[in-house]
Amino acid sequence: MASSSSSPPGRTYNDAIDALNTLQTPHSVIAARRAANVRPDAHSLTEMRSYLSRIGYSPSDLDRLHIIHVAGTKGKGSTCAFVDSILARHTHPRPLRVGLFTSPHLIAVRERIRISSRPISEELFARYFFQVWDRLGDDGTKPIYARYLTLMSWHVFLAEGVDVAVYETGIGGEYDATNVVERPAVAGISTLGIDHVYVLGKTVEEIAWHKGGIMKAGRPAFSVEQGAAAEEVLRRRAEEKGVELRVLGVDRRLEGVGVRPDAVFQKRNATLAVALAETALAELVPGFRLENEGPFPKEFVEGLEQVVWRGRCEVKEEDEVTWYVDGAHTVDSLKMASRWFTGECAERAGPKVLIFNQQGRSEAIDFLDGLCNTVKKADPAGRGFRHVIFCTNVTYAETGYKRDFVNHQYDPKDIEKMTAQHAFAEKWAKLDPDANIMVIHSIEEAITTARGLSKDVEPGQKVQALITGSLHLVGGALGILEKADAL
């Protein structure tokens, strides 16, 4: 990637990403913490507040950002993108400057901090990154990766004078770095399920407790419909905190709005986004109110229909391959993704191919059953994927990781030996003995292999290839498919 010419030497975007990568928690430390059952607690927030003060702000400064705070197991990013897209289209009496903070990134780190829906430039990223770096001083303690970016996002949005900022939590809610905000404009909880069990606990009740931690006394909060157990926990948390929590069924005004993909989960995300955008606008714009019945105003319809949220349910046509790209990486979201894939494939003929990876989560082996069975069930002859490729998240065959994807959190020995990928292959052979299973080192080689399969395809057909299991995999794949930075 070209680095910006106007940053001083040693302070370019690439230098910032290299410095940021030194803040990743190494694999050995993560493993030791898990072994000792160390989990985040209130101390994490005390530390975040102290970092915030070291860069020159107090928590009450964050009130100026009118934060829209979103937690949930799935649909956080999509919901935030909808909210951003709606608010960015607001014009009356003046346009709003909208900040958006999301994680993880797909193609480049700077995607995580957006203003007016665009990732901040490399130059701006480098400048703010090193301002935070300098303000924190040289005494050796710097926040870890995700916390650093959260801290930096507050600085960027305050310095750039955004009117409203949409925040996706990193992990959980109660002790998440973003939860330093005391007076959000509104909090929203998207679909809850099981993920990050080492940090948040094994049951949906424990997970709901964490996510419910973003609701703040006296501030409005919304949730999509949840399973009974999760909803019960959220309601109890709301009551304890003196929050009026509203649980939303799918908004009827969405009928006739072209939300993509046309699936219930996405309508839930859109429903939540509408409520969050409406609540924030009511606070920011005197006299703003949506009609309870009747159609949405133009900014809402266009915001929902024209949102760009890459790496989720994307279809890309090449001459010999149709690529289906989705970054799902939990049991539930992978079921959604495979249903979406089979729905799309119903209209196109050709052998089905899977490219899958999920690095560093031992539970990922359980992701495969749903994926395999959904595809078999949807086929009239009961056939599943013809070819199944398991690869690592290493981007390129020759040069390894793109800088923005360097990850010290995995055991390098596992990547070298492709331990996870061989385990996936073994499991898949049991699930579907008819499949041709391959284990391949890099994303680039996996894509080349899938393209090569087109030589055996019957005339009029194309390889139908699903890439899923990891946002890192999907981001790397999009970069390769588009031969450029797909930002």
Ligand X SMILES: Nc1ncnc2c1ncn2[C@@H]1O[C@H](COP(=O)(O)OP(=O)(O)OP(=O)(O)O)[C@@H](O)[C@H]1O
Annotated binding site for Mg(2+): 103, 168, 196
CA-to-CA dists, residue 477 to 185, 311, 323, 449, 472, angstroms = 37, 9, 10, 13, 8
Residues 6+ apart with CB under 8 A from 366: 331
CB 444 within 8 A of CB 401: no
CA-to-CA dists, residue 468 to 82, 189, 210, 232, 353, angstroms = 22, 25, 27, 32, 11
Query: In terms of CB distance, is 74 or 147 closer to ligand X?
Result: 74
Among 76, 253, 339, 427, binds ligand X (CB under 6 A): 76
* 172 is a site residue for ligand X (CB under 6 A): no
Among 13, 72, 150, 447, binds ligand X (CB under 6 A): 72
* 311 is a site residue for Mg ion (CB under 5 A): no
Binding mask 72-91 for Mg ion (x = CB under 5 A): -----x--------------
> Cα angle vertex 349, ends 346, 353, to 5°?
90
Query: In terms of CB distance, is 71 or 438 closer to Mg ion?
Result: 71
Query: From the CB of 252, what's the least distance to ligand X, in Å?
Result: 18
* 370 is a site residue for ligand X (CB under 6 A): no
Q: Dump strand ranges (E) for 143-294.
A: 164-168, 186-189, 221-224, 245-248
* N-to-C CA span, the chain: 12
Binding mask 269-288 for ligand X (x = CB under 6 A): x-------------------
* 105 is a site residue for ligand X (CB under 6 A): no
- Phi, psi (deg, nearest 5) at residue 349: -100, 145
Among 471, 473, 478, 480, binds ligand X (CB under 6 A): 471
**CB burial readout 363-402, b (16+ within 10 A) else e:** ebeebbebbbebbbebeeeeebbbbbbbbbbbbeeeeebb
Query: In terms of CB distance, is 72 or 350 closer to Mg ion?
Result: 72
Residues in the chain, total: 487
Annotated binding site: 103, 168, 196, 312, 326
Computed on alpha carbons and rounded to an integer, the radius of gyration of the chain in Å comes to 22
Element (H, E) at 301: helix 298-305
* Contact range with ligand X by CB under 6 A, out of 5-13, 178-186, 261-269, 454-462: 261-269
Query: In terms of CB distance, is 268 or 361 closer to ligand X?
Result: 268
Query: From the CB of 481, what's the least distance to ligand X, in Å?
Result: 17
Query: In terms of CB distance, is 77 or 311 closer to Mg ion?
Result: 77
Binding residues (CB under 6 A) for ligand X: these are: 72, 74-78, 103, 168, 190-191, 265, 268-269, 312-313, 326-328, 332-333, 336-337, 471
